[in-house]
Each structure stands twice: as structure tokens, then as C-alpha cells.
Amino acid sequence: MLYSSKAHQVVLIVTCWLSGIATCLLFLQYSQSNFQSLVFPSKQGKTLSEISLDDIPKEVTTPAVQKDKPILLLWVWPENYRFDLSDCQTYYNIDGCRIIDDRNLYNQADAVLIFHKSISWDLSNLPPSPRPAFQRWIWFHVESPTNTHRIPGLENLFNLTLSYRRDADISVRYPLTVSKTPIKGFEIPKKDKLVCWFVSNTNPSTGTGTRMKFYEEFKKHINIDIFGNMAGNHLKDEEYFPTMSSCKFYLSFENSIHKDYITEKFNGPVSVGTVPVVLGPPRENYEQFAPHNSFIHVNDFASPLDLANYLLQLDKDDEAYSRYFDWRKHVNATRHLNNLKQEFVTYICHACEYIGVHKEYKEAHDIYKWYFS
């Protein structure tokens, strides 16, 4: 039945205001244009699909989210880097959850993603308690233990962990992808530099002492091209990977040494056709993520001098150097994102993918004992 008279419209408008949004939307299906002209005079010409909650008077609506997918509430934007909440579907084809950042919908969220570095020391900016019984809190932290503040009181608050660690509930890494068939077409890029290092952080309080001590001795025996704050030679984003690929070897020196802490410093060079020289956890840990012949580990040499001599020898032996790329016949490397905002997008999308698949409830006890072990 269609309503056209003003009297009928007024009656139904009053009904809407008394009974709430559900009745309004039901009537909207029958008399969309007339209803809009009365209740939404500034929204005339919109279709039903274009009407949003913002168009409806605040006093007649209660925030609601469709529960067709699990809801992931982003409690704080990490480092205040913001992005379009549809990016997970746009760029990664991840559509297993609905990401929101509206804290008014806290009680409807299936999971809440909480960025560790944003938590106040007194915990005053955490979500309110008691939390809904079905809700899971995700501890979101990708820094190494050396660079982690142990905020008291967090040990037993979380259900899930998101970290670089392999044994995290949601492990976020830049994977090497194994191919079942040989990969054709890879060629070693042209090289005009021997050893390169992109480095900005030289602060010993962040754990950089070990790598700086090694570098100071190493540079006495071989030429190293330095880029970054340490050299006052910043690269533009578009120069980053081309410059890295022009180096035969790249110093993939982590700022601190911990289990599984193998960052973009490793993935970057292997993805662009450069051999990483790694300083970090033991070789066995690297081999859990990458082929044993895709990198050179400083621990395999008695001294920085011995390592320098080996690299100089490889520089003169093209055949021996090329063997460090044999793995490319069967494995692809995913280029890391040289942009912190994009990295956070990737991490959050991983969390969305996880809660879309894993519906079970669990608890993470004493995350510090786990993380600092």
C-alpha cells in the first residue's frame, strides 16, 4: 500500500518518532521520496541505499552494526596513522570481518585491537570493564623486547597476541612464498656498489650497541655505502628499493637481538635481489624463515675481518656470488612496505582475517613472561 496524503504521512512520521528507527525504515521502503521530503528535507534525491545513520535525527536512533561478520574495533589508531577502513578488502582481499573505530559500538565488538605503545601507564585509556562476555582483546605489539615498556597490570588482560613472534596468535611477517614449480625469469640486478647500509638509529639505549661495535671494526676492512640519518643522506621513497638492489650486499643488522626478531631489514634486500649480511638471532632462527643459502650470517665468521675478506672474494667470483640466488628458482620474496602507515594496515588486516576465521574464545596469560622469554 502506498501513502500519498499529507495526513497519512504526518501520522506515520509521528509513529516513527515514537517507535524508533525500525518503523521508519519499514515505511521508507513504501514511500521513500515523500518520507525523505518530510523527515530528511536536506537529503532529497537520495536512494534508500544512500541514506546513512548520519542522515537520521540523533534522538531517534541508537548506534547499531550489522552482525553478519565479526566486528573488529580499532581502539586506537597506531601512531595516529589513519587509513580507509575498507583497505583490507581493497588491497588484500580480506573481508572476513568488519573493522570499525567507533567506541560507541564497543559492546557490539567481537574483538578489540589495542596498540601497546598507546596504553597509558595507569591503564586509564583502556576499554571499560567489565567487557562483554564474548569479546576478545588483542595485544598489538611489534617492537622487540629491548624496546618495549613493561606497563604494569597488562599481564592477564588479553585474549590474543599480535606480534612478529612465530608463536603469537596472530603472527605478522613478510613471508617468503614457496612455489611448487620452478620460477623462471629472475635475473640478478646490475650492481655498482659492494656493501650498503641504510641506518638512522644509532642510539645505544635502543639496543644498537652490538651492531655499531661490529660496524666500527668492519668498516676498517671494506668500503660501505651508508644512507640515512647516520650519513645525512636520506633516500626518497621511490629511491629506496632501486638503491638497495644496486648493492651486492646489504647489512641487515637488527637493532636488538631476540628470537624471531627478523624485520624488513632482511626481507627488503632478499626481495630486490641483494644478498643480506645478517646480524640478529642465530642462523637456525633465520633458516626457519628463509633458505639457508639466501643470506650470510656474521656468526659464521671469526671476526669482522674474516667476513670482509669473504665478501671481497665473492665480489671477484661471479659464479660463487650467483649461488646465493639459487633459491629464487623455487621461492618468491614479498617486498616489505617502506612506509609505517602501510605496515600498520597490513597488521590490522591480519587481525581482521584471524577473527573472521577463529571464533573460539581463549585467554593469553602473563604476556610479559611469554614476550620477554
Q: How far apart are the first and last CA of the chain?
A: 69
Of 122, 190, 193, 182, the C-alpha closest to 152 is 122
User: Following DSSP, what letter does each residue of 291-319 receive, concatenated?
Assistant: -GGG-EEGGGSSSHHHHHHHHHHHHT-HH
User: Following DSSP, what letter does each residue of 95-120 receive, concatenated?
Assistant: -SSEEE--GGGGGG-SEEEEEGGGS-
Q: Exposure pattern of 115-150 as b/e (b: 16+ CB <10 Å)?
A: bbeebeeeeeebbeeebeeebbbbbbbbbbbbebee
User: Following DSSP, what letter does each residue of 81-94 receive, concatenated?
Assistant: ----TTHHHHHH--
The rounded distance, in Å, linking the Cα atoms of 258 and 228 is 24
Sign of torsion over alpha carbons 305, 311, 313, 315: negative
Determine whether 6 is exposed, middle or buried from the number of CB atoms within 10 Å of its CB (0-12, 13-18, 19+).
exposed
Say which residues have a Cβ less than 8 Å from residue 329's Cβ, sequence separation at least 6. 182, 183, 186
H or E stretch covering 285: helix 283-286
Catalytic positions are 143
Q: How far is CA 36 from CA 33, 59, 62, 86, 220, in A?
A: 5, 17, 19, 28, 77
